[in-house]
Structures are given as C-alpha cells and as structure tokens.
Structure 1
Amino acid sequence: MTKRLETLFSLVEPCRVFADIGCDHGIISQEVLSRGVAEKVYAADISAPSLKKAIALMGDGFDGRFFAFVSDGFEKLPDDIDCALIAGLGGEETVHILSTERKLPDTLVLQPMKNADKVRKKVVGLGYGIDKDFTFFAADKYYDVIRAKKACGYRDYTEDEYVFGRDNLVLRSEDFLRYAAFRLKVINGAIENVSDKAAELALKKEAAKLMELL
C-alpha cells in the first residue's frame, strides 16, 4: 500500500463489521480482511464502475465476508457497521454523507481532501469525540485524518482546534510544521490579491496563528 493508505489503515481498529465508503479500488477493504482486522467488510461507492474495480480486486477469496454496494454513503448499507472509513472525498461531501438519517457506526476514520474544519464540527455536533486528528505528508501532498468515536470523551474543541486539528496543535509534528509553513506562504500570497475585507481579515487571522505555531 501507499504511505497514505497505510496511515489510514493503521487507524482502523479490530471490529466485526467495517465499511469502506467511497472505496474506489478497494485496497483498504482487501487489507482489512486479509489482515483479520474485521470479520466482514461492506464496500460502497456511488460509482458502479469504481465499485467493479474493488470487486475485481477482492476476487473469490472472501466469499461471505465481502459485500459491495452502489450507494450514496451509508444509504443502502446494513446498519450493523462498527467502523467506517470515508477517505478521499471533499469535506462538504463527507459532511453530506454523515448527515444521513441512517444509523452511523461507533467509529469513523475520515480523510477529507479539504474543509477538514467542517468535518470536525460535524462529527462533534453528532456527539462523537475525536481521539486522533493530525496532518501527514505522502506522495507530495498533505492530508488531514480524523478518527472519531462515540465512546471517546474528548468533545470540546476550540476554534483553533477545529481549524488546525487538535493533535497538530499539541504535538506539532514535523509534517504539520512543514504544512504550516507551506500554508503561511500561500496565505501571504493570497492576502496581496484579495479584495474582500472580511476575507482579508480571516486570512490575516489564520496567518497570525500559523506564525505563532512556527
């Protein structure tokens, strides 16, 4: 697996039923079953062609343990899921999936491609606590990953933690500090060209916090 997928896989804890939402090629689904992390896996994707790639990858080796669904998030899945991965989607799309009226699993592993702050606010609003929340670097890109649990006690997030991620503010890993320096450079360039005063103030506020972290 790639470093990105290995990082995501490392956050999936042993469970009975695992769901891979937006599974695309199904690599995580395969690893979860082959390494015995879950007894059963549901792979779901809104795209039938993408889901076929996952089905082809799994082959016939996991009969009775692997089930594929063309589904918008959890909509067509059974409600016995213990842990779900939603990775590689935009933050707003992730929030849409989490806004379902269906029963959500006790544990969520989330890797939004952008708008991670909106995802953090959504899961906390749903009553989850966040026990892992950090930035990592893989294949020339920075990724945010969030693990949320209904049984986790940490539910009170500050505004800075929503924006940057709690573990990043506490641990200040090398990957996060590199991202912070990169983000600060982007913001400083944007400030020079922004015309909206409210947007300019928001950027300056973020830049000031990044400088404090660095």
Structure 2
Amino acid sequence: MGSIIRLIGGIPIAAIVTVALFLLMTRLIFTEGEPPKAAEDDLSFSINDEVQDIAARRRDTTIEDVQQVEPPPPPPQIDRQRAEQPTEGLATVMGAIPDFAAPQLNSDSVSFSVSDRDAQPLVRIEPQYPMRAAERGIEGTCYARFDVSPDGTPTNIQITRCDSSLFERAAQRAVERWRYNPKVENGVPVARRGVETRFDFRLSE
C-alpha cells in the first residue's frame, strides 16, 4: 500500500523535472545556433582624388617659317665622255686572217679499220676456299683450261691439274662466273680457244 502511494506522489515530480529539462535544452539550442556577428570594418582608400591639369608645351609654326627654309642645292652635273670609234679596221690592227683550204673528204681516201685483239678479261672472281680444306689446313694449286665464246663467256672448262680434289669444284665455279672481251679478227668477234689460268689456294695467317 505504501509503495503505491510513493509511486502516485512521484509522478508529478518527474513531470516537473522533465518539463524543466526540456525548457533548458531548448534555450541552450537557440543560444548556440545564433551566428556570431561579424565585425564590420569600414575601409576606404583614396588615390589622387584631385585631377591636375598638365599643360602641354606647344610650338607654333607659321607659314612664314616654312617659306624661309632654303632648298638643298642641285647635284653637280657630270660630263659624260663618248668613246671614239676606231678608224682602222680589225684586219689592220691584228693582221690579216690567213686563208685555209678546206679539206677534201672522199669515201675513197678515208678508211676505218678495227685492229685485231686477243680475248681480254673483264670480270674475274676469285674462288671460295673450300670449307673442308680450310678445316684440315690443306693448301694447293689448280690449273684450268677453257675457251672464250664470241660473246665473252667461258666454255669447255677443264681442270688439267690440281694438288687436291677439294679445290677442283671451287676453281671450276670461279671460271664459270668470269667474263671476257672476245677475241676480234678483221673486226669480227671470234672464239678464243685454249685459255689457261692458275689458282693458288693459300690460308691466310
């Protein structure tokens, strides 16, 4: 029974305390939310408020001053001298030009002949050293014989003598790539037979 009485008596007190706290919090919120007043400073600047009149110096020029200016003197006249024409002829000064008799060219008196010549090499390519002979350190000499056709191409190539068979193929392939000026007889290219050449295969030190 006593606890009920205390409960009923405490309700009004709790309500009063709650309303007081609410009012206090409301006042604090509005007080903190007010923006601070910014200090306003009145600043003013004045730069040369007064405008000064600048008097420009003027020079008065009259028409009389312009007329008094004397013009420059005219340039001096230069006398041009005319060259005198020669009175003597060119033949008198340098002598008479001699007369030359024009040569007479007749088809019977002029003859053109082409001298005969032997076959002459144009392109000579050295043979490549065989790889097998180089690995074994073999050196030697090969002799080849061939003919030169009227168009300058080597034909009928033969290896007549060779120190090692390893050099024969290299010597023959080298001659095949050679080119000649053909042999000429009576102005006509002809075949040249029995041309001989020698190949020395030496290892460089």
TM-score bracket, shorter-length normalisation = under 0.3
Length-normalised TM-score, structure 1: 0.16
Length-normalised TM-score, structure 2: 0.17
**As a proportion of its length, which structure holds more helix?**
1
Specify which structure has the bigger relative contact order, considering alpha-carbon pairs within 8 angstroms and separated by 6 or more residues: 2
Over alpha carbons, which structure has the higher Rg?
2
